Amino acid sequence: MQKIRSLIDPPRITGLDLARALAIIGMIFAHMALVPELQLAKPETWPGIIHGFTSLLFAFLAGASVALMTGGSARPAIEQLPKLRLRLVGRGTVIFAIGLFLEALGTPIAIILPIFGLLYLALLPFIRMRRHFLIIWAAALMVFAPMLVQLLQLSAPYAAGLAFVFYGHYPLHAWLAMALFGMALGRFDLRSRKLASIALLAGVVITVAGFALASLTPEGVGQPPQYTNLSSSSGSWSAYGELPADDDFEHSPLAGVLAGLTNSLPHTGGSLEIFLGLGVSLAVVGLCLLIGSTQMRWATLPFAALGSMPLTVYSLHVVVYLVVYGNTNLSDWIGPLEGDPTALIVTLAFLVGCTAWAVTVGRGPLESLMRTAGLVTSGELRSE
């Protein structure tokens, strides 16, 4: 009973676990079900909101989690910074290594974990920053970074390091902006119902405004036409860059800057996509925090359990994908079919399995590994 209560009672913030669960489930359905791309004019495509926004929600939640790990609503003391930063380095290293292992499995899934690991390093300078400065930095990244990345992509389209960090399926600048917004939220009292209500309302307003702005761009989006996404549904494993479809294509810097501002398609890393991601994330987190602050949290126990071990569940879902659908590079990949129930079955299995694990063991296995690595790196736990 004690382990059950630890999932839904303070000091744990159940609402964040619920939001993580929704992000994980969204990714499962994005990978294991044929969910159409979102088109606002077609209500039957609205479930397609899971494409792209679930990964941005992950980044937002990562920032909120880092805020909680480094003092919550109170900024950490200066003397605590070396230890806290080393913890994050250890955690990020484990996440990065697990991501490389999952990529080696050869599924067509664009693995988020390598960039997730780098995100922990990118957040190191910000962990003692005041929340209004976090918002300023996040807003500046949201507006200016996509334009700079577009110019970089024009001048150095084949640079492997830049492609991995900035041009790929999960552009670091977009994730860092979302994580800083999440850190700013995490510096408030996340148990406050007033804060949750404000976040929900602000999220809805931003989302509506974002989709209204997106409707003003060509065809509702601003995706530059000269790039071919190698991590698209064609099944290619490469998720690290978008290369020019035609070496002779000439693209003006001004057009690139405008594309950076107006891109709203999933995984483009455009300012408008980040703005939409912020709105969706605030709305989801605000709603989940409200639910987690009421007695309704007891009914959401399985989701809270799943959300308490996101690294484990995400990694397992990639392994399950490999078992069910095969390796794309060994000519045995089949992919999800129309009406495929795999995503639903896998989600239900995870909800049951995570609940059983949480009430009997506690922390997820990969979460325990990540925590141990952080303690070893900071010197709080000896590795010998």
pLDDT at 218 over 80: no
How far apart CA 298 and CA 27 sit, in angstroms, is 24
Decide which of 239 and 12 is more confident: 12
Q: Decide: 21 and 303 in contact? Cβ < 8 Å.
A: yes
User: Where is 242: in which H helix or E strand?
Assistant: strand 242-244
CA count, 13 A, side-chain hemisphere, 262: 20
| Mean pLDDT lowest among 6-15, 26-35, 55-64, 306-315 | 6-15
pLDDT at 332 over 90: no
CA count, 13 A, side-chain hemisphere, 63: 34
How far apart CA 99 and CA 102 sit, in angstroms, is 5
| Per-residue pLDDT, 357 | 94
| Mean pLDDT lowest among 13-27, 114-128, 155-169, 304-318 | 155-169
Decide which of 232 and 84 is more confident: 84
Q: Taking residues 31-53, what's their average pLDDT? A: 82
pLDDT at 322 over 80: yes
Share of the chain above pLDDT 90, in %: 61
Model confidence at 241, pLDDT cuts 50, 70, 90, reads: very low
Share of the chain above pLDDT 70, in %: 87
pLDDT at 224 over 70: no
Decide which of 10 and 27 is more confident: 27
Q: What is the DSSP letter of 70?
A: T
| Per-residue pLDDT, 5 | 67
| Per-residue pLDDT, 225 | 36
| Per-residue pLDDT, 296 | 87
User: Where is 350: in which H helix or E strand?
Assistant: helix 342-360
Q: Taking residues 112-126, what's their average pLDDT? A: 96
- Write down the pTM of the prediction: 0.88
pLDDT at 233 over 80: no
Model confidence at 251, pLDDT cuts 50, 70, 90, reads: low
pLDDT at 19 over 80: yes
Model confidence at 133, pLDDT cuts 50, 70, 90, reads: very high
Give the DSSP letter string of 354-383. HHHHHHHT-S-HHHHHHHHHHHHHTTSS--
| Per-residue pLDDT, 381 | 80
pLDDT at 95 over 60: yes
CB contact set of 120 (below 8 Å; sequence gap of 6+): 62, 66, 88, 89, 91, 92, 95
Averaged pLDDT score across all residues of the chain:
86
Phi (first) and psi of residue 378, to 5 degrees: -80, -5
pLDDT at 91 over 90: yes
- pLDDT per residue as tens digits for the range 257-279: 787 888 888 888 889 999 999 99
How far apart CA 122 and CA 22 sit, in angstroms, is 25
Residue corresponding to tokens 């995570």: 354
Which tokens go with 304? 């809270």
Model confidence at 220, pLDDT cuts 50, 70, 90, reads: low
- pLDDT per residue as tens digits for the range 348-379: 999 999 999 999 998 999 999 999 999 999 98
| Per-residue pLDDT, 1 | 61
